Amino acid sequence: MGSARRVSGFRVSGHRRWLAAASVLGALAAPVVFAGVPAAARAASPAIVVRDEQTQVAFGYTDAVRQRVWVESDFDSDGDGSDDRIAVDIIRPAATEQGLKVPVIMDASPYYTTLGRGNESQLKVDDANGDGLLAQWPLFLDNYFVPRGYAVALVDMTGTGHSTGCPTVQGETDNMAAVEVIDWLSGRRTAHDKDGVAVTAAGWFSGKTGMIGKSYDASLSAAAAVTGVPGLTTIVDESGPYDYYDYTRSNGVIQRGNHYLASLANTVTNPGNLAPAPGTSQAHCLATRNDLSANDGDATGNSSAFWDERNYVKDAGKVRASVLATQGMEDENVRPDHFSKWWYALSALGVPRKAWLMQVGHVDPFDVNRSAWVDELHRWFDYWLWGVPNGVMDEPQATVETHPGQWQSEASWPAPGSEPTQVFLQTGPDAGQLGLAPATGTEQTTTFTDSATQRETTMLANPTTVTANRRVFLSPVLNAPLRLSGTALVQLAASVDAPETHLGAILVDYGPAFPRVVDNINNNGVTTLSTSDCWGESSPTDSPCYKDVGELIDTTSTAWRVSKGILDGEHRTSLSTQTPLVPGQVYPFSFPLLPQDYTFPAGHRIGVVVVGSYRDYGSTASTTAADITLSLKASRIVLPVVGGRQAATAAGLSGSADTTTSVSQDAAATGYGDSATFTATVAPRDAAMAPAGLPGYVAGALPADEAAGFTGLGTPTGTVQFEDNGTPIGAPVPLHDGTARYTASDLLPGAHSITAVYSAGGPFGGSGSAALNHDVTIGFEKVEAIVAADSSDPAVTRALNGLLSAAAGAPNRHIRDNLLNAFERQVSAESGGALTAAEAALLTTLAEALK
């Protein structure tokens, strides 16, 4: 179909990239009946029912229309000469056969016939009668939403289930499967049933689609959204990898090697063929998997065009759909930095969005806070797909699980008031210390040796004991709770005695145990219970009932990993190329930790553990066993503290950096009444306060405003008071980028001594500048102009000017003073009494002018 091209070894016909999308809310696509409206006023055609700002059950489930169609694509993922056909199973209210047009809730997945979906690993199961239609629909979406006026479409990703072709693990041919189905729904592409009969959705599709899915399915939703395809109105992304390089590597360190993509592709491909001719199977897709392995870069860990194709964050600017994103903050499968990078990009672009953040691992929110989640999802789809004015977008943007089973709403995320706060690594008597400024005095270093076999439990244990393969830095015992919300970042100044090493850092909560959700990749912090509840309508072959799930609670740990991160030293500046280290040379090694929303309780200590290789991150280890020397003055962790440095100080962290203040002027002398501008510059006395700049990929792990202002963290903030001869002039002036400017136009003639006094701000101590001399001069013509401006009576002005002229021409001081006294009496007479302050100032000015 059309001209063809090849991407990563697969033929892909030129497909569209849409620049415009349909209106988000627009008019309702079908009649709506609001509860309470008289029957005579209701539309005769089928309609949804809305009550209490939600769609209600108005249609049957057992009589719903079921279909399976194959959408004709314009790509050939397996290179067999035939364009792939994408299978989609659809269930919709029977009323759509009588004119009701409904939106579609779509879940595209590679797992429907292999690994299954949801906590109970449900598979697609066909009718026993061989009609090729689904009898069991995984998950609760069909049971719950079809009776409320939605269609549900389950798409078999390319090369999986009943679709032809071969999976390419988030390659373009995977990612376009759902897009092709949306094209068909919208009338831009053709499809056929199992008998080859053309099928359209024109008679029942409202024009709006919402995609949903967890993990791989969430990636496919994001991949569709970044095409800007018209007809995709919203996506609900649950714990998806949005940049597959980050799923298989972390800052250049390989996590999933051994040609993981080819292995996963084999897993999701059916051993035997389910698809129509020409079919597909694991054996059929061997060549495609070999192509994946040839291009995955496992030998170096480098990023490349191969991985760029699997990165949706970079294309977030094309998103035209709203986004509801969820993430388990203890997810060890799809780690939360996938969520945060995606979220930060969407936030910077102003995409309509909300977030649910949980303390569990790789878990659907349906299995964490079921009732609240179903309500949120219901209202979200009602708003975006049916246009129900339920106010869901007027509510707080983020829902955060702060403690097991306890939820808190936030206006945004990171939580409002979260500020990047520098915490420096310092020497200590046993363990190192943490402070808000570098330690004073000369540079201090500490050296440890990388261990490829050190376990995380060893890294965290006995923090005050110095060991050979780690360094630990501890805060004082906190005297108030301290909340982190966002992404922490480590910047280590270090040298290595080898051309390559790994670096790792762990943020730890040391203190008495309290209830927290278990962090364990094997159970994801949850357990399946024996009870169950039901969500929606049922049929003889499809139940809406699911087993309850409970959180597993830890009540014994006194060393709790809050977050962590790793870096390959050779990828310190770029993920696409390796640059060997020069032994002995000090480099800034910057890398983010995983995002988190966590509160350190009072009575606990913040710990930072620095290591080399970190095998329990699930990554490879360095083989050099390098000695790593930290230069502590410039080594720091930047924490996203809610309340910033003020909150950190209140919690017990301390430290202040000395500053210097200088003042300059735009001119050494000005005329009376002219403007004079003075500039104060405040800088830290220790240059180590200023962090090094970040590589682009590291900056991309932070919110856009934090990345832009990162190097400014070492720039003093606060205010400067300008003074003239020790007396304040004007109000304190805020610092911007370390400078403050004050412009004066009312300095009296004569010599002035200008100074600037910086008040302590943030981690910076106060300081004052040396004095700067400034002269203000005045001419006789200026005095005459002042006199003229001070009197509205021309006769008075002439009289005063006469006295001034005489004073100016007086042969000696005695005569001049008499004339000025006469001027004073004349001014007093005109003003009707004693001189005002302004008149007295004028006389002083005149006296100075006539010296």
Give 212-269 as a DSSP string: EEETHHHHHHHHHHTTT-TTEEEEEEES--SBHHHHHEETTEESS-SSHHHHHHHHHS
26 vs 226, which has greater pLDDT? 226
849 pLDDT more than 70: no
pLDDT at residue 279, rounded to an integer: 82
Q: In the structure, what pLDDT confidence band is assigned to residue 314 with cuts at 50, 70 and 90?
A: very high
Is residue 735 within 8 Å of residue 718, measured between CB atoms? yes
Residues with a catalytic annotation lie at 215, 331, 362
User: Over the stretch 338-375, which tens digit does the pLDDT of each residue have?
Assistant: 999 999 999 999 999 999 999 999 999 999 999 999 99
User: Over the stretch 584-610, which tens digit does the pLDDT of each residue have?
Assistant: 999 999 999 999 999 999 999 999 999
Q: Which residues pair with 75 in a beta bridge?
A: 12
* Residue 191 CB neighbours (<10 A): 23
- Gap between the Cα atoms of 851 and 154, Å rounded: 94
Question: What is the architecture, at CATH level 2, of domain 659-777?
Answer: Sandwich (2.60)
- Gap between the Cα atoms of 275 and 596, Å rounded: 43
Cis peptide leading into 278, omega within 30 of 0? yes
- Gap between the Cα atoms of 683 and 685, Å rounded: 6
User: Over the stretch 373-405, which tens digit does the pLDDT of each residue have?
Assistant: 999 999 999 999 999 999 999 999 999 999 999
Mean pLDDT (whole number) for 121-125: 96
pLDDT at residue 845, rounded to an integer: 60
* Residue 72 CB neighbours (<10 A): 17
User: Over the stretch 50-68, which tens digit does the pLDDT of each residue have?
Assistant: 999 999 999 999 999 999 9
Mean pLDDT across the chain, nearest whole number?
Answer: 90
Domain ranges of the chain: 4-314+321-410, 418-514+555-651, 659-777, 780-849
821 pLDDT more than 90: no
Instruction: For the domain covering 4-314+321-410, report its CATH number.
Output: 3.40.50.1820
Q: In the structure, what pLDDT confidence band is assigned to residue 763 with cuts at 50, 70 and 90?
A: confident
Least confident range from 27-41, 142-156, 515-529, 671-685: namely 27-41
835 pLDDT more than 80: no
Instruction: For the domain covering 418-514+555-651, report its CATH number.
Output: 2.60.120.260
43 pLDDT more than 90: no
DSSP conformational letter for 129? T
Q: In the structure, what pLDDT confidence band is assigned to residue 841 with cuts at 50, 70 and 90?
A: low
What SS3 class is residue 516? strand
Mean pLDDT (whole number) for 493-502: 98
Q: In the structure, what pLDDT confidence band is assigned to residue 521 with cuts at 50, 70 and 90?
A: confident
555 vs 785, which has greater pLDDT? 555
Q: Which of 642, 672, 706 is nearest to 784 (CA)?
A: 672
Mean pLDDT (whole number) for 528-543: 96
* Residue 838 CB neighbours (<10 A): 9
797 pLDDT more than 70: no
Please return the burial class of 394, using the count of CB atoms within 10 Å of its CB with bins 0-12, 13-18 and 19+.
Answer: exposed
Is residue 144 within 8 Å of residue 536, measured between CB atoms? yes
Mean pLDDT (whole number) for 147-169: 97
Mean pLDDT (whole number) for 637-653: 96
